[in-house]
């Protein structure tokens, strides 16, 4: 399946109603981190602002922020990051009459999430689209952000699959919390996750100490990198990412064990660090973490302005066995370019690895070179041969 990136169709700003529209009005920030009364609150829908006679689209947007006019350019800014003297766009009209135009159309209808997804939904076409998108972004200078919950690293096959995906260029940045990184390192250090053998699922004697032992050793070493460089970690996605210098952002929670030295406990600093990478994201995959996936869903832009000027959606795939989680993320993204998949998260990662790396990936490439009927016949022949 060849992926064709949808492109946003801009309004015809030569139309009289846009040429004669008002310009944005601004009010000055008097106190750091406090927006002036009447501030305009941003949405994930692509929004144009009229300044000095020209309609402009910010490089990226974010939910529940404010537009700041700096040197003739609109920059979408977190309220907490406002500085005294900043000029914040005010007004509540979104029809362009006051210089703010929210575009509810522009992307093809296929970009918007359809309602009614559930665990019973068939996801074959979503998988195929994702595989094609991953290949497209990897091969066209994209920035692929993975957001992981700890259950993803509890499974042997999943940890192997994540490594293969990283080694083949499908992970540009990884985000998560203390638990995800801790249990992956525990697996590489002691072969367990929460004291349970990562392969056989057998509980180890005094295994409930294992992740605290791991945390204590890493903290004694001073950093996760130093602990890995000293040869204590046999395998795992954290080891692979560190060796490849792939960015890893770990945002802390109130009751983190340890935590690892790299975990950012200050929520403002964690947001800033996450935003730095999300502003580059062209594809996001959130797996089994409601907290971090919802944070990313709010912060990450719904579109990206490509080098050639094309405005394209930033797709976010949200994978969780719980429909409540995927529904929340769909709502947070305002249905734009979000694909919910209610399925086993460990199987999801393994499916990605099998389709994109190794023999299964070769099968997919071969399939794209022959008619569908012929490909089906070839697969049927292979299944018949395997059953004999």
| Residue in the structure block whose two tokens are 């919390």 | 177
On whether both 126 and 87 belong to a single domain, the answer is no
Final residue in a domain of this structure, among 102, 132, 167? 102
pLDDT, tens digit, for every residue of 90-144? 999 999 999 999 999 999 999 999 888 888 899 999 999 999 999 999 999 999 9
Q: Write down the residue that tokens 């971090």 correspond to.
A: 292
Asked which of 84, 102, 120 is the last residue of a domain, the reply is 102
State residue 3's pLDDT score. 83
Return d(Cα 386, Cα 341) in angstroms, integer: 31
Residues 81 and 192 in one domain: no
**Residues paired with residue 147 on neighbouring β-strands, in sequence order:** 175, 286
Structure confidence at residue 364 as a pLDDT band (50, 70, 90): low
Spatial separation of the C-alpha atoms in residues 253 and 232, rounded to whole Å: 26
Q: Report the C-alpha gap between 367 and 128 in whole angstroms.
A: 12
Please state, rounded to an integer, the average pLDDT across all residues of the chain: 92
User: What DSSP string runs through 294-326?
Assistant: HHHHHHS-SEEE-TTS-EEE-EEEEE-S-HHHH
In the chain, the number of structural domains is 2
pLDDT of residue 383: 44
Instruction: Find the domain containing 313 and state its range.
Output: 109-362
User: What pLDDT shows up at residue 201?
Assistant: 85
Q: For residues 180 and 160, what is the distance between their CA atoms, to the nearest angstrom?
A: 15
CA geometry: angle 139, 185, 257, nearest 5 deg = 120
The pLDDT assigned to 362 comes to 63
Task: List Cβ neighbours of 220 (8 Å cut-off, separation of 6 or more).
Answer: none
Q: What is the pLDDT of residues 6-44, one digit of tens each?
A: 999 999 999 999 999 999 999 999 999 999 999 999 999
Cα(73)–Cα(71) distance, integer angstroms = 6
Distance separating alpha carbons of residues 13 and 145, to the nearest angstrom: 34
Q: How many CB atoms lie within 10 A of CB 302?
A: 25
Question: The whole model's pTM is what?
Answer: 0.91
Please report the pLDDT score of residue 79 as a whole number. Answer: 97
Q: Is residue 139 part of a domain?
A: yes
CATH at 29: 2.40.420.10
- Is-contact 175 249, C-beta < 8 A? yes
Would 282 be classed as within a structural domain? Answer: yes
Q: What is the CATH number for 309?
A: 3.40.50.10690
- Could you tell me if 117 and 68 lie in one domain? no
Question: What would the pLDDT profile of 46-68 be if each residue is shown by its tens digit?
Answer: 999 999 999 999 999 999 999 99
Tell me the per-residue pLDDT of 235-286, one tens digit each, with 9 for 90 and over.
999 999 999 999 999 999 998 999 999 999 999 999 999 999 999 999 999 9
Residues 356 and 338 placed together within one structural domain of the fold: yes
């Amino acid at each position: 399946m060849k992926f064709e990136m949808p492109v946003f169709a801009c309004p015809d700003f030569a139309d009289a109603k846009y040429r004669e529209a008002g310009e944005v009005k601004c009010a000055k920030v008097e106190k750091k981190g406090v927006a002036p009364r009447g501030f305009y609150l941003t949405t994930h829908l692509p929004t144009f602002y009229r300044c000095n006679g020209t309609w402009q689209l910010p490089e990226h947007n974010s939910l529940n922020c404010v537009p700041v006019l700096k040197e003739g350019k609109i920059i979408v800014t977190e309220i907490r990051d406002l500085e005294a003297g900043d000029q914040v766009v005010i007004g509540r009209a979104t029809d362009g009459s006051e210089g703010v135009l929210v575009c509810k159309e522009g992307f093809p209808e296929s970009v918007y999430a359809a309602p009614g997804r559930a665990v019973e939904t068939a996801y074959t076409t979503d998988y195929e689209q994702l595989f094609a998108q991953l290949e497209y972004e990897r091969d066209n200078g994209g920035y692929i952000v993975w957001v992981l919950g700890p259950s993803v690293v509890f499974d042997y096959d999943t940890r192997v699959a994540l490594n293969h995906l990283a080694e083949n260029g499908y992970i540009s940045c990884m985000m998560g919390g203390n638990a995800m990184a801790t249990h992956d390192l525990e697996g590489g250090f002691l072969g367990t996750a929460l004291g349970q053998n990562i392969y056989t699922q057998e509980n180890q004697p005094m295994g409930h100490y294992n992740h605290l032992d791991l945390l204590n050793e890493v903290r004694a070493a001073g950093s996760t990198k130093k602990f890995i460089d000293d040869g204590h970690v046999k395998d795992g996605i954290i080891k692979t990412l560190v060796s490849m210098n792939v960015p890893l952002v770990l945002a802390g929670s109130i009751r983190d064990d340890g935590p690892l030295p790299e975990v950012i406990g200050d929520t403002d600093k964690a947001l800033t660090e996450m935003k730095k990478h999300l502003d580059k994201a062209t594809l996001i995959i959130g797996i089994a973490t409601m907290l971090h996936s919802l944070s990313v869903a709010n912060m990450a832009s719904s579109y990206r302005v490509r080098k050639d000027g094309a405005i394209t959606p930033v797709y976010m795939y949200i994978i969780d066995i719980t429909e409540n989680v995927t529904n929340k993320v769909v709502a947070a993204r305002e249905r734009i370019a979000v694909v919910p998949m209610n399925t086993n998260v460990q199987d999801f990662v393994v499916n990605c690895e099998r389709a994109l790396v190794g023999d299964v990936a070769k099968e997919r490439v071969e399939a794209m070179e022959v008619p569908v009927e012929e490909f089906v016949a070839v697969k049927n022949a292979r299944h018949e041969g395997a059953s004999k």
